[in-house]
Structure 1
Amino acid sequence: MEFAELIRTGQAQAELLRGPEEPPLRGTLCITGHHLLLSPGPQATPDLWLLLLRNVDSIEKRVAGDSGTITLRCKDLRVLQLDIEGVEATLDIARSIEALSSLESVITSFPFFYRPKGLRLGDAWHFHPPECYYKRVARETNAWRLSEANEDFSLCPSYPRAVIVPRAVDDSALARSARFRQGGRFPVLSYYHAPSGTVLLRAGQPLTGPQKRRCSEDEDLLRAVLAGARPGARGFIVDTRSPQAAKQARMTGGGTEAKAAYPGWKRLHRLLETGRPLQESFVRLVEACGDLEQSMDRWLNRLESCRWLSHVKETLSTACLAAQSMEQEGACVLVHGAEGTDSTLLITSLAQLILDPLSRTMAGFQELIEREWVQAGHPFQLRCAHSAFSHARPKHEAPTFLLFLDCVWQLGRQFPLSLEFGEGMLLALFDHAYASPFGTFLCNNEKERCLCEVRTRTHSLWSGLSQPKEQRKLRNPLYVPNPLAIWPSAEPQSLRLWQGLFLRGTRPPEPSEVAWEKVWQIVTDQEKTEGSQPTDSASEAGP
């Protein structure tokens, strides 16, 4: 297929309305295979306005007289309006955008064509392999090993080639445990908590079914986890489904770990909604935030009824439960729901942010996302196919990763000095998860990325974000390393709407950006002042 076949018109004269606080742009509108471009012309700034077509979530068109209007609702929650000269040009541009923004083939997407100056293919893809994290674990304990039993993805297509497992369990036992778990997701290590000697694991649900099947190798694996921890350690299985949902899953082949078969492990149910309920909550919240005519009472009622902050509360509460079990009770924790690719990753990643100071650094946070979301098999291509504006409502779409970012934003707001990255990093991750020139969030798992050669044919997002010009927007200038765990409050009065994301299209962005820049300037001036002052020893020294 050629992109030219989908482009119905070359160019048209248009005016772009980007928001209530930004002046309109008028110029020549063009369409390419991946972008919508507007050139304001020599009378204005020479810079092109660009929109990645993959960012378009829905498109509306209307014509009147000899002109037309196209409204683009974007996955990053922006709403753009194009007033175009000519009815035929309007309809042709609308059809072109509809076709080019919904291409399903991964290898025709823009990351496979993106070649920015200063970056080389292959840079940063090697920053965060499982082997690096295993080296840190191996310095603390010899109870774990790096297994390459999944080298060809035959055990689990959504796991990476190498996983960290108990040293006492051989690869043949892993293969049998994989057959007993949903999607082949046998229990693997997410995080080793050195202060307590405990571990955090993730997995898919056991496939016990109505007959209450058992798997001795799976039972041995979890027994080996406790044996490798401190003497007398016990374990908690945090199931992110309700007891009723787990029971219903058994009737369709899924299930839970039987208490008698897993001695030392206690099951805890903490319901975290995913899938359709979470997506509908997101949609209702965005609709409420975009209504500028509502009264205060109606706004508050809509904010409560969408239940987005309730999802944030339940997620943070469950993450704290997992972290407290490890830190304060010295217990190992296994997290799973059904598939183990959504709410499971929410909890394992947030628990690490709470407990691990390294995960709260810029590099550590990037490694956490790479290890616990990208390599751990969160299906980004399915979950982020559409955002909040699409008229389609496929059951596989859900803003699980956005919920994680919102919870991290709540952590940063409650502990403003403890995260090395700021809101800019979280906003960038949200934008790139839904539409990006980089290949990091392409596909649904490592097996698909290997088949599409993503790591050799596209650039890594981490390479792009490491550029010096990006760092000032992403880093927290007030960061002070905190070696302790940070315990967020999940009480309703402690949680806030993430205005920087959900209201960024309806309120002027300048005040927050100006304030951020002033903080950076203050910190920079202070560092210069301290660097220019002589030390006490130098000032007291004689000639």
Structure 2
Amino acid sequence: MEFIELIHINKLNGVILKYPRQDNIDGTVCITGHHLILSSRKEGVQELWLLHKNIDSIEKKENKPSSGITQGGSLFLKCKDLRIFQLDIASSTELNLMAQTLENLSSLQDPSLFYPFFYRHMNPIVENGYTLYSIEEEFTKVLATEEWRVSRANQNYTMCSSYGKAVVVPKNIDDETLVAAATFRQGGRIPVLSYRHTNGAVLMRAGQPLYGPKHRRCRPDEAILNAVVAIGTKGVIYDLRSTNSISQQQSKGGGTESNANYSQWKIYNRSMDEVDNQQLLESYSKLIEACNDREISCDKWVSKLESCGWPESVRNSLHTACIIAQHIHQKAEPVLVHGTRGEDATLLVCSLVQIILNPDCRTIRGLQALIEREWLQAGHPFGARHRCGPYAAGAPRAAPTFLLFLDCARQFLEQFPCSFEYRQSYLITLFEHSYASQFGTFLCDTDQERQSRGVYTQTTSVWSWLNQPGELPKYINPLYDPTPSVIWPSVAPMSYVIWEELYLRWMIEQNTEDREEQYKVIRSREQKLRSQAQQLRRELFDLAQQYYEPKQETCDK
């Protein structure tokens, strides 16, 4: 397919761009295969380059007819990076042609037609981001213990289509056992190592067991898990679903581990069902709707914010991570985490646990490595999850799980401002590129798909760009003072802080000297929550450090 077949109008003069808190721009719109470009003849006005893939929703509004004739109208382009543009077009015919063209180009589904395959980096690439974080280098210390090994049983993706080619597994478990165990886990996602703590306790992740209504058993799977439990001790399994969800999955052939077959493991559940279904996208949409409401009073806005469900998802994610981290750090217990497929809530929680326990994950390159091994190589389906944002009707598999992770990381930065090497602008940059980018890092759903489509050879990694000497300093936190110990975030409702620099940033004038003052005006909406949080935060941190106890809810067997 050629882009020309989708472009019904490629240039249009006299288009007026309207944007909140900005002067209107009268200019010319040009449409290419990947960008909408609006330029003005007025000197000093910067061009607008908008990736079609960034467009989340297109709304057309025609002007009221005059003398029975409709004359032009407006296109409202709502973007995945949360911007909203209004394009005023004088002719109804050109309005319709422009709307159809943008609909065609923004709804392309074939990754090979996306911009990263056509983009050419202007500066020399110092390092290849696709080869920076190999599994052998990331687990060097673990492999040196003689207890773990790198398995390439999935070299051809036959064991598990969503895992990478290599996984870290117990050394005394051979590849034949891994392949046999894969038939017992959803999507072949066998238990693999996610993190090994300094005290030797490990964090593993997997897909749900295919226990089913016939109570199926798999001894190879039991062997993998029992290999990490010391004699006379027990491990801990956290199923990230409610008991109702587990029962529903069991009727369909899934379920959770049985106490009888996994006697060396204690089984608990922490309900994070909203992360694994459409509910999370709905919460995100309601959050952005509340942020875009400029007329609402402070009290009503705070109420609307809390009722949207997003703050609760952030707190629940952090709370679950804290409980699991406590098992690992304080009790030295091995932990297995899984939900249904193990591609969303599982990866989210495992990533947060590592930020709590591992100081390396609080550095810029450490976060890159974490995203590589816990999201990209672990099979988070970025292509499907980021197919739409908060403004679209919603694709069947779309969900802002990765954004939820970044928001949780933002909460860490708020509570521990000196413990992280990166600023929140770094997290915002990752958010933007995960949805629409000139780089190929977040393309496709799996490592297998990225391999088959040539992503690693035909596109540039976002890490290659971010790690350039001229780019990296923008994201370094000048207050960074490495914290070698574990950090426990407060999960109290008063400690939640809305990420105004992301969700509210387009409500504020850009490139003005008094930008910080404008942020203070926006922040007044959450004055009550923040004032109480300031009074309680230090006390909550002290309590979390000294008396943190997990709330353990046993699965209903």
Residue 232 of structure 1, CA deviation: 4.4
Aligned AA for 1:498? W
Residue identity over aligned pairs, in percent, reads 46
In structure 1, what is the Cα distance between the partners aligned to 2:84 and 2:43?
Answer: 23
For each residue in 1:151-210, what CA deviation from the matched residue of structure 2 results, as whole angstroms up to 9, or x when unmatched? 00000011000000000100000001101000000000001112x111100000000100
Match of 1:152 in 2: 156
Contact 2:127/2:464 (8 A) holds in 1? no
Aligned AA for 1:95? Q
Match of 1:209 in 2: 212
- Tell me: CA distance 1:122–1:416, structure 2 relative to 1, closer, same or farther (3 Å): closer
Residue 254 of structure 1, CA deviation: 0.3
Contact 1:177/1:218 (8 A) holds in 2? yes
Match of 2:108 in 1: 103
Match of 1:249 in 2: 249
- Tell me: CA distance 1:512–1:283, structure 2 relative to 1, closer, same or farther (3 Å): farther
For each residue in 1:483-520, what CA deviation from the matched residue of structure 2 results, as whole angstroms up to 9, or x when unmatched? 0111000000111111111111223355899669xxxx
In structure 1, what is the Cα distance between the partners aligned to 2:326 and 2:20?
Answer: 44
Match of 1:93 in 2: 98
In structure 2, what is the Cα distance between the partners aligned to 1:331 and 1:511?
Answer: 52
Aligned AA for 1:317? H
Residue 235 of structure 1, CA deviation: 1.1
One of 297, 308, 320 as aligned partner of 1:306 = 308
For each residue in 1:354-375, what CA deviation from the matched residue of structure 2 results, as whole angstroms up to 9, or x when unmatched? 0000111110010000110011
Contact 2:283/2:309 (8 A) holds in 1? yes
Q: Does 1:78 align with 2:83?
A: yes
2:77 is paired with a residue of what secondary structure? Answer: strand
Aligned AA for 1:440? T
Aligned AA for 2:112? I
In structure 2, what is the Cα distance between the partners aligned to 1:440 and 1:238?
Answer: 30
In structure 2, what is the Cα distance between the partners aligned to 1:232 and 1:350?
Answer: 29
Contact 1:131/1:162 (8 A) holds in 2? no
In structure 2, what is the Cα distance between the partners aligned to 1:56 and 1:136?
Answer: 44
Residue 48 of structure 1, CA deviation: 2.7
In structure 2, what is the Cα distance between the partners aligned to 1:152 and 1:403?
Answer: 32
Match of 1:423 in 2: 424
In structure 2, what is the Cα distance between the partners aligned to 1:151 and 1:511?
Answer: 53
Residue 397 of structure 1, CA deviation: 1.1
In structure 2, what is the Cα distance between the partners aligned to 1:388 and 1:426?
Answer: 18
- Tell me: CA distance 1:61–1:514, structure 2 relative to 1, closer, same or farther (3 Å): closer
Query: Which stretch shifts more, 22-31 or 284-293?
Result: 22-31
Residue 287 of structure 1, CA deviation: 0.8
- TM-score normalized by the length of structure 2: 0.88
Aligned AA for 2:11? Q
Q: Does 1:37 align with 2:37?
A: yes
Match of 1:291 in 2: 293
Match of 1:394 in 2: 395
Contact 1:122/1:456 (8 A) holds in 2? no
- TM-score normalized by the length of structure 1: 0.91
Residue segments in structure 1 that go unaligned for 5+ positions in a row: 517-543
For each residue in 1:273-307, what CA deviation from the matched residue of structure 2 results, as whole angstroms up to 9, or x when unmatched? 22211111111111111111112232122112101
Residue segments in structure 2 that go unaligned for 5+ positions in a row: 64-69, 518-557
Residue 52 of structure 1, CA deviation: 0.5
Contact 2:406/2:431 (8 A) holds in 1? yes
Residue 15 of structure 1, CA deviation: 1.9
The aligned runs of 1:254-333 (5 Å cut-off) are 254-272=254-272, 273-274=274-275, 275-333=277-335
The aligned runs of 1:193-208 (5 Å cut-off) are 193-194=197-198, 196-208=199-211
Match of 1:524 in 2: none
One of 378, 381, 385 as aligned partner of 1:379 = 381
Contact 2:509/2:515 (8 A) holds in 1? no
Contact 2:207/2:339 (8 A) holds in 1? yes
Match of 2:494 in 1: 493
Contact 1:313/1:490 (8 A) holds in 2? yes
- Tell me: CA distance 1:282–1:99, structure 2 relative to 1, closer, same or farther (3 Å): same
Match of 1:219 in 2: 222
In structure 2, what is the Cα distance between the partners aligned to 1:512 and 1:234?
Answer: 59
Q: Does 1:135 align with 2:140?
A: yes
Residue 85 of structure 1, CA deviation: 3.3
Q: CA RMSD in A?
A: 1.8
Query: Which stretch shifts more, 108-117 or 122-131?
Result: 122-131
